[in-house]
Structure 1
Amino acid sequence: MHVTAEAILSLLATVFVGVLFLLMLEETQSIARGTDPMTSRLHDLTRRFPRATYALAVVLGMLLGHLYWP
């Protein structure tokens, strides 16, 4: 099996869209039930650990830059 940069990028994009879909689904169910959605807790978590959030953004940016740079 030959793994290419395009395959890795496609996998990352698919996982990202899947996570976004699950977050939207959970938020819809939470609104219907009248409870706090997970996105509120995720927002609180990113506010609580800003350095970790920044580090994750840098790592993802480096990975995408590595895959896109010719």
Structure 2
Amino acid sequence: MEWSAEAILSLIATLVVGVVFVMMVSETISVARGTDPVTNHVRGAVRRYPRVTYAIAVLIGLLLGHFFWP
């Protein structure tokens, strides 16, 4: 079985959409229950480690540029 670039990109996009959907459901349930949502923990981690956040953003930008630049 050979994996093409399009198949891998489609799989990554599907996984990202699935993770976003699960996070939205979790956020909705947390807000309905009145508990602390996941985004507060993510926001705290981003503020605690700004250099790591910057490095991840650059890495994502490099990957997207590599995949989509003609």
TM-score, structure 2 normalization: 0.85
Corresponding residue number in structure 2 for 1:48? 48
Percentage of matched positions with identical amino acids: 59
Corresponding residue number in structure 1 for 2:22? 22
Query: Tell me, which stretches of 5 or more residues in structure 2 are unaligned?
Result: none
Measure the CA separation in 2 of the matches of 1:52 and 1:2.
34
- How many residues are paired up? 70
Query: Tell me, which stretches of 5 or more residues in structure 1 are unaligned?
Result: none
Corresponding residue number in structure 2 for 1:10? 10
Pick 1 or 2: higher relative contact order, CA cutoff 8 A, min separation 6: 1
Look up the equivalent residue of 1:55 and give its one-letter code: A
In angstroms, what is the RMSD of aligned CA positions?
1.3
Per the TM alignment, residue 2 of structure 1 is displaced from its structure 2 partner at its CA by 2.0
